[in-house]
């Protein structure tokens, strides 16, 4: 049904316009009590075996919405209604900014992929903090807040910009993510180098503790799939050293591998981050590498190219406690999160593992 609708309506529209339209419908639906209660009851994860604890938070299921979809925290309840068990808002930057000029989002339908160069278009940390503070949640959803650098702030002053966002947003976050991996802010990904990352993460940690004295807000870092393997290891070691709570792997890629040569060459040539199916293999590889390095000392969040329950299950076996998705939601529609949770529960039942936690990293722990 959705696939037909996508072909007939969304596919003919500019991708960003289609996004805003779908967004508006989701926000409208959540304002109708009967509809939202019905949808939430039908789509929320309700499988006992999928209940999980991660980052000190109790979750009904491992699958959540990746950052970038709800940049300004305006649709948390709507996304929760659609069955995403956690919603990561952002990326929010210190100051509001318009992002890159349009057109900046491209669908590579034949490859089940997207290319985006949005450039952190968002309302800024002050406005988003105010919105979160005044929010009356309809559903109890875990809310992650993903922060990044304001474009005009020079790279050497990046830490101050992140600290500003952390101070404002940590009080409203169930967990906080330092995004140093989006390809669309010049210089951002250089912050993944450990000499830049160490002071940045320490500064954000201190800022979060200052802003929320009674609660230790879990802190995670989100990394790029384009890091060399040794750099993935270096970030993993640094995360352990600094007592970070988690690593999210991965963001979009600047590589163009994995494209089945099906999409129009002019689209493939667009600059920006590639997400969706072609990212699957590398995201999984990075996750495995991280788990081999950090084991259970740090919570790993698997994201990148997840399309179905089997993909999600592979991420769990590779070491992810939580999983996220974005691109396949565009192609698969409103029942996607439910399909993933339902399939995962079925997969777990036929596996040798009693709980999801037992399955985490099982493929990596296995003797070769
Ligand atoms: C249009 C678009 C915008 C995105 N914006 C952000 C962002 O602001 N911050 C971020 O950390 N990741 C952002 N991402 C990356 C996703 O969170 C995710 O890491 C990536 O798309 C891989 O997952 P997927 O293959 O399921 O889409 C964005 C992705 C897309 C497609």
C-alpha 33 to ligand 1 mean position (Å): 30
- Chain segment 138-154, per-residue pLDDT in tens: 999 999 999 999 999 99
- Ligand 1 geometric centre to CA of 257 (Å): 17
Q: Measured from the CA of 329, which atom of ligand 1 is nearest? A: 26
In tens, the pLDDT along 84-93 reads 999 999 999 9
pLDDT at position 12: 79
The answer to whether the pTM exceeds 0.85 is yes
Q: What is the average pLDDT across 4-19?
A: 82
Q: What are phi and psi of 260, to 5 degrees?
A: -80, 20
Half-sphere exposure of 362 (CA within 13 A, CB side): 15
Q: What is the per-residue pLDDT for 263? A: 82
pLDDT tens across 239-281, in order? 999 999 999 999 999 999 878 667 888 888 899 999 999 999 9
Q: Which of 275, 281, 307, 337 to mutate to test the pocket of ligand 1 (most atoms within 8 A of CB)?
A: 275
- Quote the ligand 1 centre to 90 CA distance (angstroms): 10
Determine whether the shortest distance from the Cβ of 114 to ligand 1 is under 6 A: yes
Q: Which of 80, 125, 182, 263 is catalytic?
A: 182
- Minimal-distance CA residue to ligand 1 atom 15: 251
DSSP codes of every residue in 161-195: HHHHHHHHHGGG-SEEEEE---TTSTTGGGGGSHH
Helix (H, G, I), strand (E, B) or coil at 158: helix
3-class DSSP state of 39: helix
Unique residue bearing structure tokens 């989006």: 182
- Is 118 close to ligand 1, i.e. is its CB under 6 Å away? yes
pLDDT for the residue numbered 368: 60
User: Does the C-beta of 182 come closer than 6 Å to ligand 1?
Assistant: yes
Whether 141 lines ligand 1, by a CB cut-off of 6 Å, is no
- Given ligand 1 and candidates 16, 66, 145, which is best to mutate, with the most ligand atoms within 8 Å of its CB? 66
Radius of gyration of the chain (CA): 19
Mean pLDDT of 53-59: 96
Instruction: For residue 11, name the pLDDT band (cuts at 50, 70, 90).
Output: confident
Q: Where are the domains of the chain?
A: 2-365
Instruction: Answer whether residue 62 shows pLDDT above 80.
Output: yes
Residue range 2-365, CATH number: 3.20.20.70
C-beta of 246 in contact with ligand 1 (< 6 A): no
> Could you tell me if the CB of 304 is within 6 A of ligand 1?
yes
Q: Whose CA is nearest to atom 6 of ligand 1?
A: 68
Lowest-confidence pick of 13-27, 218-232, 292-306: 13-27
Residue-wise pLDDT for 97-132, tens only, equals 999 999 999 999 999 999 999 999 999 999 999 999
What is the per-residue pLDDT across 326-360, written as a single tens digit (0 to 9) for each? 999 999 999 999 999 999 999 999 999 999 999 99
What is the pLDDT, as a whole number, of residue 92? 98
What is the number of the ligand 1 atom nearest to the C-alpha of 324? Answer: 26
Tell me the two tokens of residue 1. Answer: 């049904």
Mean pLDDT of the chain: 95
Q: What is the pLDDT of residues 278-335, one digit of tens each?
A: 999 999 999 999 999 999 999 999 999 999 999 999 999 999 999 999 999 999 999 9
State in Å: Cα 353 to ligand 1 middle. 31
Residues 261, 191 contacting (CB under 8 angstroms): no
Would you say residue 38 has pLDDT above 90? yes
Whether ligand 1 lies within 6 angstroms of the CB of 99 is answered as no
Apex 303 CA angle, 300 and 306, nearest 5: 130
Query: In terms of Cα–Cα distance, which of 232, 262, 265 is closest to 249?
Result: 232
Answer yes or no: 182 catalytic: yes
pLDDT of amino acid 261: 66
C-alpha of residue 40 to centroid of ligand 1, in Å: 24
Percentage of the chain modeled with pLDDT above 70: 99
Residue nearest to atom 28 of ligand 1 (CA): 68
Nearest CA to ligand 1 atom 19: 251
């Amino acid at each position: 049904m959705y696939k037909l609708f996508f072909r007939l309506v969304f596919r003919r529209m500019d991708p960003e316009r289609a996004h805003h339209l779908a967004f508006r419908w989701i926000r409208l639906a959540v304002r109708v009590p009967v509809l939202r209660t019905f949808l939430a009851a039908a789509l929320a994860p309700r499988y006992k075996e999928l209940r999980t604890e991660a980052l000190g938070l109790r979750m009904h299921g491992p699958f959540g919405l990746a950052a970038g979809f709800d940049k300004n925290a305006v649709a948390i309840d709507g996304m929760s209604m659609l069955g995403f068990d956690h919603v990561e808002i952002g990326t929010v930057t210190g100051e509001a900014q318009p992002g890159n000029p349009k057109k900046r989002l491209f669908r590579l339908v034949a490859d089940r992929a997207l290319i985006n160069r949005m450039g952190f278009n968002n309302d800024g940390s002050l406005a988003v903090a105010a919105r979160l503070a005044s929010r009356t949640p309809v559903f109890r959803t875990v809310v992650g807040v993903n922060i990044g650098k304001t474009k005009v702030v020079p790279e050497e002053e990046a830490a101050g910009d992140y600290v500003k966002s952390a101070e404002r947003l940590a009080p409203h976050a169930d967990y906080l993510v330092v995004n140093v991996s989006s390809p669309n802010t010049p210089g951002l990904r250089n912050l993944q180098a450990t000499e830049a990352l160490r002071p940045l993460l320490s500064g954000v940690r201190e800022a979060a503790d200052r802003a929320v004295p009674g609660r230790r807000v879990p802190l995670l870092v989100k990394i790029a799939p384009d890091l060399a393997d040794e750099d993935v290891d270096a970030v993993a070691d640094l995360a352990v050293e600094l007592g970070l709570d988690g690593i999210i792997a991965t963001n979009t890629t600047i590589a163009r591998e994995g494209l089945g040569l099906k999409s129009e060459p002019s689209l493939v040539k667009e600059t920006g981050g590639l997400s969706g199916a072609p990212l699957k293999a590398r995201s999984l590889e990075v996750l495995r590498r991280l788990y081999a390095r950090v084991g259970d000392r740090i919570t790993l969040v698997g994201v990148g190219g997840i399309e179905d329950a089997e993909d999600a299950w592979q991420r769990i076996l590779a070491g992810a406690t939580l999983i996220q998705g974005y691109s396949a939601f565009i192609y698969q529609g409103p029942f996607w999160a439910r399909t993933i949770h339902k399939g995962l529960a079925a997969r777990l039942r036929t596996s040798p593992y009693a709980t999801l936690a037992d399955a985490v990293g099982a493929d990596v722990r296995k003797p070769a």
